[in-house]
Structure formats: C-alpha cells, structure tokens
Amino acid sequence: MKKKFYLLLISFFIIQLSFAQNNIIKGTVVDKVNQPIVGATVMVDGTSHGSVTDMNGEFTIKDVSSGATVSFSFVGMKTKKIKASSDMKVTLEDDMQNLEDIIVIGYGSAKAKDLTSPITVVKSADISSVPSTSPMTAIQGKVAGVNVISSGTPGSGPTVRIRGAGSFANSSPLYVVDGMFYDDINFLNNEDIEEMSILKDASAAAIYGVRAANGVVIVTTKKGKKNQTAKITYDGYVGFQKATNVLKMANSQQYATMLLEANYDAYSPIIKSSIDKYGGNYSGSDFHNWAFGSDTDWYKELLRTAIISNHSLGITGGSEKATYSLGMSYLYQDGVMDVKNNYKRLNFRAALDYDATSWLKVGFSSVVSISNQVLPNNSAWQQAFNAPGIYPVYDANNTSAFPNKYASPSSVGFTSNFYNPVATANYFNSKNDSHQYLTNLYAQINLIPEKLNVKTSVNYNYQSINGKVFTPTYYVSSWQQNTTTSLTKSTTSYDNYIWDNIMTYRDSYGQHNFGAMLGMSMRQEKYRFLSGTAVNVPEGKEEYQYLSQGNSTGITLSDNGSTYRGLSYFARLNYDYAGKYYLMFTMRADGSSKYQDKWGYFPSVGASWVVTEEPFMKNQSAIEYLKLRASWGRLGNDHVAASDGFASIATGNGSSGVFGNTTLPGYQNTSYFSWLQWEVVDEINAGLNFSTLQGRLNVDADYFHRMTKHAVISPKIAFSNQTLAGNYGKILNEGFDLSATWSDRVGNDFKYHVGTNISVLKNRVKDLGGPSIIKGGETVNIVGEEMNSFYGYKVIGIYQTAAECAADPTAVKNGLQPGDFKYEDKNGDGIVDGNDRQALGSYIPKFTYGINAGFSWKNLDFEVSTYGQSGAKMYNRKRALRYAQSNYNFDYDQFKNRWTGEGSTNSYPSAAALIRSWNISDQRVNSFFVESANYFRIQNVTLGYTFKNIKMGSYTLPSIRLSATADRPFTTFSANSFTPELSNAQGWDTEVYPITATYTFGIQIQF
Amino acid sequence: MKINKYISVIAVGTLLLAITSCSSYLDKDPENSVPEKNVDFTDVSNMYQPVSGVYAKLRTGGMHWVIWPLSIIRDDDVWSGRIDDQAILNQFGGKTDDPTGYNYDNTFWGLNEMWNQYYGMIKVANAALESLNNYAANTTNSAVLTTNKSYQGEVRILRAYAYWRLTQAFGPVTILSSNSQTDLTRSTVKSVYNYILGDLQYAIDNCPKVRPNEMEHVGAATAYTAEALAAKIYLNEGDYAKVEDLTNDIINSNKFHLYPDFYELFKIPGKLCDESLLECQCTDFGLGSGDMVDADQWFVFQGPANDGDISGWGFIGLYKSFRNWAKDRGETVRYTTSFLEAGTTTPSGDVIRPLQNPTQTDCWNGKAYTPKNELTSGRTKYGSNNNIRILRYADVLLMNAEAKVRQSKNGDIPFNLVRTRAKMPAITNVSVDQILDERRMELCCEWGERYNDLVRTGKAASVLGKYGWTEAKTYYPIPFDQLSDNPDLNKEPIDK
C-alpha cells in the first residue's frame, strides 16, 4: 500500500506545466517614514505568484495578468491590496493589532481576525534572542496562561503547564512540529523555529482530541518565500553562565554551634575530632568560640563559571515555483559543576516547497538533531548540601584512598550518610548520545483553485538515545568506594509516524463565508529500550568500555517496549457573516489501541462577534476594534496508563520460602488490577480582543473554566501499602488570562512598546470518587483544596518558657521544651494530634505575571522582559531530611534565626528542637517547612546595534547586528532554597542545583 | 491534466478507504507482557508453591525492620538504642530516667507499616488457602488430600502467627476471613484468640507430628509449632490446664532438646537445631556472591555502631540496669550471648569499638549477632545467612513449668532443664516469680516476651507504671492512616 503511494508522489513531481507569458510588474514598498521595507511579501491575488522585497524594498513579478490585484503584507504592517501596474510605490501603515496575520491552527490556518478562540503566536524574533538550550525556556513570562518552570541541568528542558494542572498523572502539553506529535521540543534550536501557535482553549485544541487536554503548541520550522533572492544569515553568541542565588550554608563554627547547643554530649566527639585532625582550637570553655582548621565550602568547591555558545547559519529563498530554507546550528553548553559535563547539539534542517503543477504542490521538510550530553553526577549537589565543612576535600593521611587522596568523612567520626561530594562528582562517567530525525513529506492537490484542496502528508520521527554509565574503582571511605568497575549501556528508541489526509473547502456567497475541513489521521508510536550491565570492565581508555570486556557471568539485561496506534477522523466547519459574526464547530473521533474502550469523541463550538463592525459603532472613534468570543470544547488526555496493578501472580525468590539452604518455588496470589481510561477535560472560554487609541493599546482577555473528569488517582487498598488507580477524580482549573500591549512611535526614529501579561488561576480538587482525602507519598488531595496540597501541622509559634509548656496539655503529653514548635489545635479539642493536620498550600501559582518593554532608536534596540509568580508554596524537603540524619549541615538561615531563649524569636525553633521528632520528622510535616515559592525575575535584557548596508569593496553587506544579552541576571525569592523552580511537579524542594545567569555577546550577519 | 488530478484524488481516497477498512489496525496487544496463565490446579506437584509463598511473606513482610523495635521496646529492659534516628520510638517505651514514656503517637509510620505487613501476610495466606482448596477440588487421591490438609495446616499456623502479633501490638483487630471482605470492623481480643485457636487446632489435627527440621520441606511449621503457639494464647488467657496439656504433648514426644551451647544457639550452628519450633529462614545458598534471600535489614538494623563488617545501624539497646540485674543473678553464657557491649571483644574474636556517641546505646542485641568467622566467605552483610528465631523449646519448657506451678504442681524438671543449659544452678520448688525472672533472662530481646509477661500477669502497672504505663497503654493505637482510610475501624470491636 505504501509503495503505491510513493509511486504516486513521484509521478506528481514529474508532471510539469507551462504558463502563458504576461506582464511584468515592479515596485518599491516603504513604511510611513519612507524607509524601504525589507522582506515584505508581495502576492498576486488568486494565484500562487509572488515575491519578497529586497534590501531596497524593491520587487519584480513576472507573468501578471493585467487587471490583477496585488497584495502587500509585512509583519506588524497592515496588508494593502492594489491593482497591478508596471511601477508601483506602496506605503504600508503600522498595524498594532496584527489582525491580518495568518495564524497556524490545527490542520490549517486562519487569519487572526477570524479566530473564535485565544491563540497566542510566538515569533522567531521573540525566542532567538534568548540563550536557552530549549525553545520553551525562551517563552517564559511571554505568554499569559503558559507557566514555564525551567531546569538547571545542561540539556534538560523545562516543565510547561498551560492553564494550570488538570491531571494527577501528566500535565504537559502536546507539541506538534510540522505535523509530528512530541512531548517536548528540546531537540530544536531556537533558530530552527519560524513560529509557535499556542492553542489555549478547548475549541482550538479539540481538533487534537485525546492528545489535547493539556493544551497544544504548534511549532512551524523555518520556510522560504517565493521570488526571494537567497538570504543568508549567520546568528551566533558566546557567553558564560554563573550560578546565582547559591544558598548560604552554615560554616564549621556555625555548624558546631548548632549541634553543641542541641546536644553537647552527643556531638562534641565529632567536633573535637575535626579540630584534632585538621587543626583549630577547642580550649575555650565556651564552644561558640572554638576555631576550625577545616572549613570547607562544598558549594564553592563544586562550582565554576561555565561557557555557552551557539552558532547558526541559515539560507532561505525562493523562485517562482519553489521555496527553500536550509539551516544548521551548533550549540555548546558547559555545566556549572566543576567537572567535565556539557551538552552539545548539532542541528540540520531543510524545507522545500514546490508547485509541481498549477494544481499540485509538493513539499518536504526535515530536522536532524544530533546531541551529546556528558552528565554531571547530580547527587554531589545533595551531598554538598548535607556535608558540613569540618572535613576537607583532600586528606593526605587517608592512606586507603585511591586514585585521589580525598578526605573521608569517617575521619571525624561520621557514618554512612556523609560523603565527600567532590569525590562523588569526579568518580563518575556518564553520557547520552542522541540522534533524532524528523521528516515530513506532503502533496497538496487543488481541485478547485482557492476553494477546494486535498492534502496528504506523512510525518516520521526516529530518535535513538545511547546511554553509558561507567563507574571506576576508587576508595574514599568504607561506604564510598567501588571495588569493581561497572558499565551500563542502554539504547532507547522512539519510532513514530503520523499520516494525515485533509480536505479543505472555502467559499463565499455574498456576505456569507464558509469553510470546511475534513480529515483522517493514523499514527503509531513505538518505544524500545534495551540495557545491559557488566562488572569488571577494564579501566583506562574509553575504547575499553564494552560489556563484552567485563565478566561474562553476572551480566544483567533489561528489555522493554511499547507500541500504541491511533486512528482519528475529524472535521471543522466555520461560517461568518460579513466578518461580523463567526461560528466554528469541530469534532474529532479518536481511536486508540492503548485502551480497552477504544473510541472517544471530542466536539467543540466557538462563536465570536466583532462589535466594531456593527453600524452603531461606526460613529465613534474611542474603540478601534472589539471582538467578543465564547467557546466550549471537550478534550482528552491519553498520557495515563492503560491499566494499573498486576493481573498475574507473583513468583521468584521474593515470593518463595527458604527451606534449609535453598528456596522452594513459591507464589503469592493477591493480585489486584484495574483497567483505566483516558481523562476528559471540558472547557468553557469567554474572552475579548480590544484595541483603542489608534491601535496603540491592545488588550486580550479571557476567562476559562476547565473541568477534568475521570482523572486518574490511586487510593490505597485497605490494609495495604499498595494503591490501585482508577478514573475517580475531578479537578477544576478556573482563571483569567490578560495581556495588554502599548506600542507607539515618537518622531521618525524612536519606537517603543510596553506589554504585560497576567494570569490568575484557581485550582481545586472537586471529587475523589468517594474518599474525601487521598494521601500520596509527598502531598495529599483533599476535596475542596488545591490539588497536591502539602498536609501537616500549622506552626503558630514557639514555646518560649517552661511555664508555657507546663500549662499546655499537648506540651505535657509530648514532653515539649521551650524552643519547640507550637502547633494549631485545628479541631479545638484541647490537644494537638493527627486530627489537627490541615492543607498547607500547593505548588500551583495563583498569579503569574510578565512585563516586557523595549525601544528602538535608529539602529539601536533594547528589550527587557521580567517574570514573576505568587501564591505558590513549596515544601523544603532539604531541611526536613534532618529527620533521617540529625547532624547534617544546616543552612545559614536556620543558624542565624534560631530560638536561643525566651523572646528571641517566635518563628524559628531552637537548635535542640531541630533534632527532636516533635518538630521534624515525616510524621510531623509542618508549616515551618512549607515556604513561599513566589519569585520575581528579570528574564532577559538585550541591547543591540545594527550596522546596515556596509560596503565591502563592490559587495554590500545588508546588515550586521551586535548584541549583548543578560539572561536571568536577577532573581529574587524568600524561600531558603536554590531556586523556586522545582523539578518535582508536586513542589517537594529537593533542589540542590543552583540556577544560572547567562551573559552573552551575539552577532548576526546577513549576507 | 484534469484527468490526472482526479485520478490522484481517487487513488488517495481509495487508500484511505483501504486503511479505514483495516479496523484491525487498533487491535494491538501490549508489548512485553505475556497474558497470565492460570494456575494448573490439577498439577499437584506444584501444590506446595502457595505455601512456600506464605513463608516468603513471613520473611519479606513479617520481618520488616520497624516491626522489630515496636515488638520489643515496651518493657523496662530494651530501648531503640538511638535518639538521633527514628527518635519517636523513644517515647513509645519505658525510659529509665523519665516518667513520660508510653506516649504513643498513632501517626508514626512504623505502626502503619506493622499493620499493613501483618495483614499482607494474612492476605497471602488467605489466597494460599484458596489455591489449596482448588487443588483439593481437583483430586480424589486420598494421599494427596492428606498432604493438602497438612499444607493447609502450615498456612493456618502462619496466619495464626500474624494475628497473634497483631493482637499483641494492637489488641482488638479485624478478622479478614476473605481478601474481598468489605466490613472491616474489628473483633474483640477474645474473638481473635478463638479464631487463632481454630486455625491452630486444624494444624494440630492435620500437620505431621515431627520436628520442623524433620519436615520434608526443612524447617516448615509442624503440629508441635501449632501446639506451642496455642499454648502461648492459652497462657495469655490464663487457661493453665490447656497450657500444660499442649506443652506436655510437645515434651513427651521426646523429639525436642535444648541446644547445649546457648551462645551458638543463635548463630549459624544453631540454625534449625532440635530446639527450634519456628524460624524465619534465610540463605546465601552457601555462596560468597550472588543473590541472598534474606529478611532485608532485620539484622543490619540491630548491628552495633562499629567499624568493619560486624556493624549496622546501631539500633536496639539493652539498658545497663537490666545488664546489672543479669550480672547480679550470676549469669554467664546468657550474659555474653545476649549482650553485645561496646568496647569488648566477643567470644568469637570480633572487636566492638568503644562508644563514640554517648547518646547511643553501649550494648546491642547479642542474639542478632553472627560472628565474622561464621559468615560465608565473601559475604559482608551483618547477620547474612542466619535465620531469625521465632519459637523455641526453652519457651515451651518454661510455659510447662509455669502452668504446673500455677496448678500447684511441681515445675522443677522443665524449669531446671533451661537453667542447667545456661550453666545456672538448679532451683527446687520453683515459684511463679522465679519462672518469670527466668523468662526475662532466657527470652530477652525475643519478640517482646517480657512485656507480654508483665501485661498478662498484671505486673505491668507496678513495674512500668513509674515510666508512664497505664492499663490504657497496653496496646498501640490503631494507625492514623488506617482510621482515616477505613472508617469501620472506629467502630467498637465485636464478638465474631
């Protein structure tokens, strides 16, 4: 079947057609201050004929029939339609509303003014200035309703949420890159992207059915334009990254102070042992004055300033029948940990579109991404957080240590929870090689020109990741050693295709405009994983690192995979009357091989009314443009498992009894099992687009109400630690997105703009299918509270005096002392116990905001963007870990603010309290450890200067732009943390990796 | 040209239809999973498999390390051993210097773990009985049916054991007659005891009357295991005649003997000796590397704070006051066996380093200690290849003696067997108090026998009262998470 199809495609390429010769038109396109517009699109209406203006704003089009209409368009300008003539001078007006922009929507495109739903478009210029390894990191703070949580590890992408979190399982959006579905777009270079359309509401996203519940981001890679001479652009930057907001830890003396105040007898042997071994002085009677020879700042030992650079080269152009775009880019990023760790990525892309005949258009696009990630051992950060300064990095007296003389924490008497973090960072060798190929082929047949066409496209993605982890032999201490080398190699592959067939019809009868789209899509997603581990692989060269070099016995293997198929039919109908009243209806039927119940149906409707088109609005000038919109739609989330539990009995040694010196095969048949179904989201959206003051002020506002039904959640099985998932939950996300921009021009040379976007979100668990509370490992879900809330005791103060303790039954019962936490007696029964625990907030921000501003004056341009969030909480798990090991290091804040006697503080516990289980343990989660995750950040500051038309002998270089960028130079937050942007989706702060600020110098040359 | 256009559209359309008609496109089996094969209940050669699974659960669940301190820290002799980790355990028991003990906190994770692990064992046992019934329903062979009943008896002994531990910890608990039971209301202690005794009677009637080390599946529970466990229940109920009957039956079988070397009894040579009535078995297969099938951290948890292989997490401390009491009694081999003191060298030559952290215990549980020279060469995990002793003949002898004395008979013979083995002088006309003291020494650090004795004899208030014990503190509270997840547990226990 496939073979036939390819034959068909090839035959399309061969057939050629010729046109009758006609007139030639020429002209110049300028802006209102008579400056030539470079790159404006000039199209002959009713044909696919067109051109692009050159650096003098000039264009030439052949074969134009007399009497034809020519339209002129450019980003940020109002489109103009003029009757063709041989010499045209066209002046385009500024367009602050961008109503004529063509917006990419699901399986098609539409003009901005025709939309009935909120879709935000991010252009390449908005992201190319940001030195980020992942494009989504670059849009942080730029789009209302899109929450981006960036990650610090080189090469890893951010967490993205569109309009809140609507699933206990997975809330990341769908990315559609040139028709292919992805869970992230970390493989793309910022320079690969032409634009992104972010479909926020259900009526826009419902065309993607069961994949769309978390929102959809449609990514279009760069394409050429017709009749454009080759445009060659080099874009590059080099810069450095520096850790910021590094959490201040207690130094040796402060650490000793905390422990000795807590329990002198227990901890003085360790402290004295450090002084005996590494110098210092404990002769003073007051231990607060003891001095330390070893005062290691582990973070300082681990951190470095790291470089980052990116080079990209692009060529775009087009002839009368074909357009093309080629590009390559190379990104290099070093990690900030002071060992070899980096991320390299080489990308190639190509796109070709060709009018094979008057009725047939074919095209091809491809992105190849080759990346290499040398991973740091991130557990070193955790160890550095826990390790006090009282032992050094190196110790020549650690005689058993090899290959390096790292100091052992056992030298001062520490036991197995303490490590030498520098050794951990160095005795590690892990990397991932990734190859990813995305290709897209299409053929479009125009059955009735400009009215009816059929398009078939095949999208194929292959990604393979080869991972390697090698552990050398070393010795630091009896619990930080490795006596035999071990090597793990793994191969992961993703092999996905999508075949789309779409028919589009458009027509008008007088003032009535119709559009229809019918489509079908079939897809397969195949994942395979193979991994092997061998021990005793020779050390030395990398060339030795093969499993077959290790011990042949004891090799372990693991092999896994999944294959899912989908088959979908979808339709979109839209209608408008006189550009005033709009109606849209979509429907998608989705079949999935993953679930027992295979078919789901996802409809949506949308309507809008352009009020300013009404006659009664014609006589006023206050409101330039006003459109009211409303929509409803249903979406699905198939990022949940198809089933939970085990249907089969448990066997193996874990289920077999020992009899004498061996096991007898046994089984345990307490199986539990459930089938699951995709989650369903119903969303209502109401909004408006508004423009006033000669189009200088533009406001988009939307209210949304998203209800997730059948959310998958796992309550506990009675009398068991096991959980069994079911589609029991209901989650509501309700909120408001607003964006406003003001842009204006002062005189001829000075342009400026100021914009803001804000989102307000309310998240609530509405139903858990029976129980009112379901506890997870980290957070709980309570009906009526935010999802994934922290749960525990609320601290209302610190016991200040013994008398206060004696008077409080809770303090008496639990033997509490001054300096301990005082908890709220929530149910008022006079005693604090498990029943007094309450929801203490969640990691979902209630309010996010971004402010962007910029100006250009002559050849100088300046942009600044900021981002902030509030209303979110995080759980400082790093501090709470003290429940497991009482003498871990302290952060400085705990030392500085500790309770030291009556009246010293009513919010921080004493040093002694920090090692008592009343104050700190997994049973006593309390509000002291729940901190505000609010932050404000200057995202990006860029200053650029452009030199235009530089004469180099006979050659004129169109432009060179130099720029300096500070990315994330400043972040402020109150939490005692490295960053409020957590990799843990539930807001458990175990983050020990500092955020980095990046400073770059960039150059862009157009040849 | 027009023709081509329509031909191509028709071609694509046909292709579409062809795909659409392939409705089997979505019928795709999941990767990497073979559909479950049902157990073949006619193949009686596999009939022991569900039984073996219950023994596995005793090992993997019933020996969870947190169960261990919760089982033994409520007397006046043993404490958790550490204040800097799992500190909450210190408020659960009696502290030698503090009247604020026995302050139970039902949000402690360990209580919940203990509850879930024992019920996990009960569920596996319930499922195993179902499997055995299926085997029985598929055969008419009387020999197979007899074996089947004996296997059912083994499962019931293990299930009874789990309920016994649950009542010791929590008092009234839920009887889970079936794994799909929805009413989770608790039953009174008396009802649970009757349920346990029913299971044990079945085992006494159907299991072989042999020593565990004589069983076909070496070390499996036997009719005598059931009798010993039943005797312990009757002892708690004060039915001394029954205790005497059951223990007499064990003694008169002449199958059981005290292992002569008390020190080695708890070490590798004492595994499944003739004194053993029930052990949780572990193995390293006699190999220095590769898989070990063991009770995870049970031994390591109690390993001393020490350098080298003879070390662990440093939990389980034996109070100095208790050691002094033992010393004053003139204990010798039981002293050196039971107490692993810091700053000493063991009879096997292992050096225990002096105490570094004075807040930790300076004496650990010697009965959990396996000397370095008894470990399989290549193994370094503390206690590896050793079994966990659960029920032993010495306890039977002491129960027999107590039952006799309480019925105004002479208990000297069984009593002095235990004394003599421990190299202690014999006593004539032994009293109940002397027997209880003997139990305190002989069975110290063995599953909370001391606390059970204090509670069943009514001595707890006078002995533990000064540390905060009251009758209301007899049992641990029902774990908080169980109460909130299973509201039936809030109801009054019923007779069932």
Range of A32's domain? Answer: 23-91
Q: What is the pLDDT of residues A58-98, one digit of tens each?
A: 888 887 777 788 888 887 777 888 888 878 888 888 776 67
Please give the Cα distance from A158 to A867 (Å, whole number). Answer: 15
**Residue A619 confidence (pLDDT):** 84
- Any domain includes A175: no
Q: Contact B217/A916, CB-based, under 8 Å?
A: no
Among candidate residues A675, A690, A725, the one where a domain is terminated: A675
Tokens 């959006």 belong to: A173
Residue of chain B nearest A358, judged by CA positions = B1
**Residue A355 confidence (pLDDT):** 92
Interface membership of B178 toward A (CB under 8 Å): no
- Which of A747, A519, A435, A515 shows the shortest CA–CA distance to B12? A519
Burial A116-134 (b: 16+ CB within 10 A, else e): bbbbbbbebebbbbbbbbb
Per-chain mean pLDDT for chain A: 88
Q: Which of residues 372-431 of B touch A (CB under 8 A)?
A: none
Q: Contact A265/B25, CB-based, under 8 Å?
A: no
Q: Contact B12/A719, CB-based, under 8 Å?
A: no
Contacts of A266 in chain B (CB under 8 A): 83-84, 357-359
Contacts of B46 in chain A (CB under 8 A): 665
**Residue B23 confidence (pLDDT):** 64
- Any domain includes A764: no
Contacts of B482 in chain A (CB under 8 A): 719
DSSP B181: -
What H or E segment, with its residue span, contains residue B226?
A: helix B223-237
Q: Contact B91/A813, CB-based, under 8 Å?
A: no
Q: Contact A657/B58, CB-based, under 8 Å?
A: yes
Contacts of A773 in chain B (CB under 8 A): 484
Between A and B, how many residue pairs show a Cβ–Cβ distance under 8 A?
240
Distance from CA of A715 to the nearest CA of B (A): 9
Contacts of A884 in chain B (CB under 8 A): 85
Mutation target among A360, A522, A659 for the B interface, most CBs of B within 10 A: A659
The CATH architecture to which B47-76+103-207+470-490 belongs is Alpha Horseshoe (1.25)
Please give the Cα distance from A499 to A107 (Å, whole number). Answer: 12
Contacts of A770 in chain B (CB under 8 A): none
Contacts of B108 in chain A (CB under 8 A): 923
Q: Which of B56, B100, B359 sits opposite A657 (nearest CB)?
A: B56
- Any domain includes A821: yes
DSSP A339: S
A782 or B1, greater pLDDT? A782
What H or E segment, with its residue span, contains residue B8?
A: helix B2-21
**Phi, psi (rounded to 5 degrees) for A895:** -70, -50
Supply the ipTM of this predicted assembly. Answer: 0.92
Please give the Cα distance from B6 to A447 (Å, whole number). Answer: 8
Please give the Cα distance from A392 to A776 (Å, whole number). Answer: 40
Residue of chain B nearest A915, judged by CA positions = B84
Among candidate residues A907, A930, A953, the one where a domain is terminated: A930
- Any domain includes A373: no
Region for residue A949 given its phi and psi (left: phi exceeds 0; alpha: psi -120 to 50; beta: otherwise):
left
Interface membership of B40 toward A (CB under 8 Å): no
Distance from CA of A307 to the nearest CA of B (A): 43
Residues in chain A, how many? 1007
Q: Which neighbouring-strand residues pair with A159? A: A149
Q: Contact A666/B49, CB-based, under 8 Å?
A: yes
Q: Tell me the one-letter amino acid at B386.
A: N
Instruction: Yes or no: say if A1001 and A238 are a contact pair by the CB < 8 Å rule.
Output: yes
Tokens of B179: 């794994």
What H or E segment, with its residue span, contains residue A775?
A: strand A773-775
- Which of A43, A33, A26, A228 shows the shortest CA–CA distance to A1006? A228
Instruction: Yes or no: say if A221 and A351 are a contact pair by the CB < 8 Å rule.
Output: yes
Among candidate residues A930, A946, A972, the one where a domain is terminated: A930
Contacts of A263 in chain B (CB under 8 A): 83, 359
Q: What does pLDDT average to in each consecutive run of 10 residues of chain A (1007 residues)?
A: 46 39 78 80 78 83 80 81 83 74 86 85 83 85 83 76 81 89 89 90 89 90 86 92 92 94 88 92 89 94 93 91 93 91 93 91 94 90 92 92 92 87 94 94 90 92 95 90 92 95 92 93 94 92 91 87 92 92 94 89 94 87 90 91 79 92 90 88 93 88 94 88 89 93 87 92 91 86 93 94 93 88 92 89 93 92 93 92 87 94 93 86 85 93 90 84 92 91 86 86 91
Q: Contact B307/A478, CB-based, under 8 Å?
A: yes
Strand ranges of the sheet holding A87-91, from the earlier edge strand across to the other edge? A58-64, A23-30, A87-91
Q: Contact B84/A886, CB-based, under 8 Å?
A: yes
Tokens of B147: 């074996």
Q: Contact A593/B57, CB-based, under 8 Å?
A: no
- Strand pairing class (B276-280; A360-374): unpaired
- Any domain includes A37: yes
Q: What is the mean pLDDT of residues B435-463?
A: 96
Checking if the pLDDT of B19 tops 70, the result is no
- In angstroms, the Cα distances linking A849 to A756, A868, A933, A969 are 7, 5, 14, 18
Contacts of A12 in chain B (CB under 8 A): 8
Tell me the pTM.
0.83
Tokens of A769: 């299918």
Contacts of B290 in chain A (CB under 8 A): 554
Q: Which neighbouring-strand residues pair with A162? A: A146
Residue of chain A nearest B213, judged by CA positions = A660
Q: What is the pLDDT of residues A271-298, one digit of tens each?
A: 999 999 999 999 888 999 899 999 999 9
Please give the Cα distance from A543 to B9 (Å, whole number). Answer: 55
pLDDT band for position B14 (cuts 50, 70, 90): low
Q: Contact A447/B107, CB-based, under 8 Å?
A: no
Residue of chain B nearest A444, judged by CA positions = B9
The full DSSP string for A391-460 is: S-SB-TT-TT-BSS-BPPGGGGT--TT---HHHHHHS-EEEEEEEEEEEEEEEEEEEETTTEEEEEEEEE
- Strand pairing class (A23-30; A87-91): parallel
Contacts of A592 in chain B (CB under 8 A): 26
Contacts of A269 in chain B (CB under 8 A): 356-358
SS3 state of residue A145: coil
Q: Contact B53/A666, CB-based, under 8 Å?
A: yes
Q: Which of residues 226-285 of B touch A (CB under 8 A)?
A: 272, 281-283, 285
- Any domain includes A597: no
Residues in chain B, how many? 496
Q: Contact A8/B8, CB-based, under 8 Å?
A: yes
Mutation target among A570, A668, A778 for the B interface, most CBs of B within 10 A: A668
Q: What is the pLDDT of residues B257-301, one digit of tens each?
A: 999 999 999 999 999 999 999 999 999 999 888 889 999 999 999
Q: Contact B32/A771, CB-based, under 8 Å?
A: no
